[in-house]
Amino acid sequence: MTQLSLPSNPDALKVGLVQMAPVWLDREATLRKVEGYVTQAAAEGCQLVTFGEALVPGYPFWVELTDGARFNSPAQKEMYAHYLEQGVVIERGDLAGVCALAAEHRVAVYLGVMERAPDRGGHSLYCSLVYVNQQGQVASVHRKVQPTYEERLVWAAGDGHGLRVHPHGAFTVGGLNCYENWLPLLRSALYAQGENLHVAVWPGGMHNTPDITRFMALEGRSYVISVSGLLRPADVPAGIPLYAELMAEAQATGREFYANGGSAVAAPDGSWLLEPVLGQEGLFTAELDHALVRRERQNFDLAGHYSRPDVTELRVDRRRQSTVRFSDGD
């Protein structure tokens, strides 16, 4: 086990944002790349390392670019079957390598995956944000409650089971997937549990992160990490279905990126600790100080002294949804 010295400031936390391109639609190869970055982040003293939305095995960029809404299209069915086959089955141990590294280095990980969920039959995919704690345990799996626009053609709707926060030193950390970060009720569900470090994961796109990252920091008086992926036409492997169609589209449009990053970190006063990073792959780090959270909560604490639960109240169902409940008698 790597022995990390405790920070001299108990309020301090070093975080890593990995803005990387997956080995697109290849689960095992992408996980090996993720594991390499976890090791690198630990070597640089990070206590929390974060990755983008749907990173393993990758975001379904083909849907909007290759006539993905055509009903009963053999090409789209073939692509979906390939995507499903590359999905992450947590119960099978697909994340065992990431969990082992987290335990070895005492580093927590937020990782976006396409989850192939046996508890829902195993033939649909869920956009899931997985939290692996410093003991190497999968502590929560948040399935995106509502896929966005064309995502609904390949992703199933999730539930509230993963709307949970986790202690990490002086901090309480929670996270949401992509456009979930625009949903005030989901944000409020995390604020009510004491969240003061928010992880927002994105497939990648500078259009997503500059405004909402700073807004959430100001609203929650919390640190906000927005971590994005990257993908370029050159990252698309030649052997996948729809390869020719994707390359033709990229050539016709002069496309340089499917996802160009935008990873960033905002402080509880809305200032940038890390301004959005465009088009670069790599590990980016930031040092957080919980004392700033406490100072900013002096005049606004959404779930505390500025709340009025006698006037407004939020109810959250955190049961894992299922289509069936069995009662087996003796």
Q: Could you give the CA distance from residue 156 to residue 75 in angstroms, rounded to a whole number?
A: 20
With tokens 């982040």, the residue in question is: 41
Determine the straight-line distance between the first and last CA of the chain, rounded to whole angstroms.
47
Could you confirm whether 33 is annotated as catalytic? no
Q: Which of 14, 33, 127, 144 is catalytic?
A: 144
With tokens 């500059």, the residue in question is: 210
Tokens of 35: 């594991």
* 3-state secondary structure (DSSP) of residue 191: helix
Could you confirm whether 77 is annotated as catalytic? no
Q: Could you give the CA distance from residue 160 to residue 133 in angstroms, rounded to a whole number?
A: 20
When computed from its CA atoms, the radius of gyration of the chain, rounded to whole angstroms, is: 20
Residue type, 290: H
φ and ψ at 181, to 5 degrees? -65, -15
Q: Could you give the CA distance from residue 111 to residue 94 in angstroms, rounded to a whole number?
A: 13
Q: Could you give the CA distance from residue 104 to residue 107 in angstroms, rounded to a whole number?
A: 8
* 3-state secondary structure (DSSP) of residue 76: helix
Q: Could you give the CA distance from residue 93 to residue 114 in angstroms, rounded to a whole number?
A: 14
Q: Which of 127, 178, 180, 195 is catalytic?
A: 178
Q: Which of 14, 46, 53, 296 is catalytic?
A: 53
Q: Are 199 and 173 in contact (CB under 8 A)?
A: yes
Residue type, 299: N
The catalytic residue positions are 53, 144, 178
